[in-house]
Chain A
Amino acid sequence: MLNVKDLQLHLDGAVILDKLSFRLESGKTLCVIGESGSGKTSLLRSLQGLAPARFEELCFEPRSGSPVRYRAGWKGRPGLPGSRWVMQDPIAALSPRQKLGVSIAESLHGRNIARQDMNKAVVDALQDVDLPAHFASRRPSEVSMGQAQRACLARALIARPDLIFFDEPLSALDAIVQKQVALTMSRIQRRYGISYVIVTHDLGFAAAYADWVLVLRRGRVEASQAASNFFNAPDSAYCKELIEAAEALGELDTRTSADVGRAEATA
């Protein structure tokens, strides 16, 4: 449903992203892995039309609504219709003086929904991310990081997108909260059949949730493999090194606990 061919991004004469191609099937999870500065966030920005990327083709076919097919460059205003973006720092992503409910409802801007339906949608979305309804009237300064990230998730979810981009959604959170939010993400994906593109540098997380792995290094694709293949037989020496480093740090041990979580979520 998302198909990107030969995406390139040049800024001030520097090559940020070079010849990136990948595709993502409906309901699946693509993890984009790479060290900092490898162009992960630039990729997300390019896919939203926030960075002036060039490409041979950018094609997005949501299950409902008209497909988007751009050739050469982005056209129109930023934002891929039918998709939402959850950012790294949830507090920064929420307007500091706005109640969470208002921020969440803003995701439905331009859809002509009656006020009552809107309120109900907000409460439902909060429920989907395990937040009680009264959080709608809180402000970002009054909630924890984990709660804020859940609110951001609710903001993405309320629009019923077919694709959600995540930019290191867990890196601002504590370990236990990370796990809980990851479980919520996974449950939502199953319930609504949403595709995920998740930028991360956490191999453990990728091992637990990814269907497909895209490794970036200095703006180039280092590996593009199915997750199971990647962790057993990585395509390049660099990827092998990455996996070994993660193993040495014990990151990949979380794989087991996350698997348990996944089982829990399906049950």
Chain B
Amino acid sequence: MSIAAENLAGDQPDLRSKGHVADVSRFVRNLAAGLLVLGIVVTGGFLFTPYDPITPDFLDRLAGPSAEHWFGTDQLGRDVATRILYGGLWSIGLALLITTFGALVGVIVGLAAGHFGRLADMSLMRVTDSFFAFPELIAAVTIAGVLGPSTTNMVLALILVSWMKFARLVRSLAISLAHRDFVVQARLNGLPSWLILWRHILPNIGPSLLVLWTNAWSRSILSISGLSFLGFGVQPPHAEWGAMLLDGKSYMQTAPHVMIFPGLAILLAVLSINLIGDRLRDLIAGPNGLFSD
């Protein structure tokens, strides 16, 4: 009875936020579908091309775009289109791997700093600041170069220079959440620290983390290609986009297509991931966002 009265009194739940949840879930479904297509293209695409990305074909070197070779062939006669599809696996996939590992390290450090008292916070944040003090790519070039140019060392280097922003975000969110009423309630109800972190802190950090993760992912693609272009990343004959650019650089005057198409691939991949990130941020932090309270 009193419920009916309450509703009559205009004490209605905020329907806008309900519609918003639908909005978000629709977007997440679109995103998943888009990523699936992207995944199929980059992982499966090269399986369906008649060419091999690595085996040279010296009879057909540096040929321009044609019906057979859509993006032409490179200095060893390999099909550039095939190599770009294959290279997407390196560029996008490795970037995903690096970003996810970086996020994992960052979340652990950030949660520990934000939740286990002043001493842990101070020491962990000084360490984070120290790592943060290096310009990302310069540090990555140095680490990868000094350890010796290889894919493994590049991945290691990029994880080492990319976890800090996650740690900082997670820490600041964890600290601000720790004083929120619902976390205080959980503490008073006697929940242990780890359960509070797991049930109350982590789920509420998730959306912001996702936005940062998307940004870091696209940035990571640029870093991988940059390192490979400088010769410190993925090594020939593998078809990473940056490494392909490095190849194409030498034949720029006679066969510009070898250099143009891999660059275009990087641009498009980074651009689309950035756009996804922007849209996610609007959904989560925009004026009507989930966290606009």
Contacts and interface: CB of A to CB of B under 8 A. Distances in A.
Does a CB–CB distance below 8 Å link A and B in the complex?
Answer: yes
Interface string A72-113: 000001110000110101011111111000010011011000
A94 B186 CA distance: 9
Interface in B226-262: none
A143 B10 CA distance: 12
A97 B6 contact: no
A94 B189 contact: no
A21 interface: no
Contacts of A87: 181, 184-185
Contacts of A142: 13, 17-18
B188 A174 contact: no
Among B1, B5, B18, B183, which residue has the most Cβ atoms of chain A within 10 A? B5
B101 to A, nearest CB: 25
A93 B185 contact: yes
Contacts of A141: 13-14, 17-18, 21
Residues of B contacting A: mostly = helix
Contacts of A155: 185
A106 B189 contact: yes
Contact of A174 (B11, B185, B186): B11
Contacts of B183: 95
Interface in B20-37: 21
Task: Report, as a range, how many residues of chain A touch the other chain.
Answer: 35 or more
Contacts, number: 93
Q: Which of A131, A144, A159, A174 has the most CB of B within 10 A?
A: A144
B18 A92 contact: no
Interface string B1-19: 1110110011111100110
A174 B10 contact: yes
Nearest to A140: B182
Nearest to B14: A141
Interface stretch (B76-84, B198-206, B266-274): B198-206
B187 interface: yes
B126 interface: no
Contacts of B181: 87, 89, 92-93
Interface in B150-200: 180-191, 199-200
B2 A95 contact: no
A21 B14 CA distance: 43
Interface in A123-174: 130-132, 141-147, 155, 159, 173-174
A176 B13 CA distance: 16
Contacts of A183: 2
Contact of B9 (A50, A79, A98, A174): A174
B6 A92 contact: no
A107 B17 contact: no
A191 to B, nearest CB: 15
B203 A97 contact: yes
A166 B272 CA distance: 51
A93 B182 contact: yes
Nearest to B1: A130
Given A143-B13, A144-B13, A95 B199 contact: yes
Contact of A107 (B189, B203, B204): B189
Contact of B2 (A92, A144, A159, A184): A184
28 contacts: A77-B190, A85-B185, A87-B185, A92-B181, A93-B181, A93-B182, A95-B186, A98-B200, A106-B186, A106-B199, A107-B189, A110-B190, A130-B2, A130-B3, A131-B3, A141-B13, A141-B14, A142-B13, A144-B13, A145-B11, A146-B11, A147-B13, A176-B5, A176-B11, A177-B6, A177-B11, A180-B6, A184-B2
Interface of B: 1-3, 5-6, 9-14, 17-18, 21, 180-191, 199-200, 203-204, 293
